[in-house]
Amino acid sequence: MPQTLSILAAAGTGEGATVEMPDPEVREKYVVKTLYIYGAFNSATVAVEISPDGGTTWFPITDLTAVAAKTVTQLHLTATHIRGVVTGGSSPAINMVLL
């Protein structure tokens, strides 16, 4: 059964905690995961950032910004760490789960 990673849990504005990506189940160059973003957006925007160096340098996934109540996408990740960044909105409570 796939491991579920909680990246954001009822998060307000700001940068979420750094979450370490699990090692691939087989020796592959990337991990395929499904990302779920949901909650009370209240006009907030959610971005996803990845880091190849343990969280020192962050890169936004430019094709992925959530502004709706629910977003789901499949990611092919080569990074070691991931985080969510919530901006704007009025008291947002955002959840981001990687499965």
Nearest-angstrom CA–CA distance, 16 and 82? 9
Strand locations in the chain (E): 5-11, 14-15, 19-20, 31-40, 45-51, 59-66, 70-77, 81-87, 93-98
Return the domain boundaries, the chain: 5-98
Instruction: State pLDDT tens for residues 5-63.
Output: 888 888 888 888 888 876 665 555 667 788 899 999 989 989 999 998 888 999 998 77
Q: What is the pTM of this model?
A: 0.81
Three-state DSSP state, 13 = coil
pLDDT for the residue numbered 87: 92
Q: Looking at domain 5-98, which of 1.10.3470, 2.60.40, 2.40.30, 2.60.120 is its CATH number?
A: 2.60.120
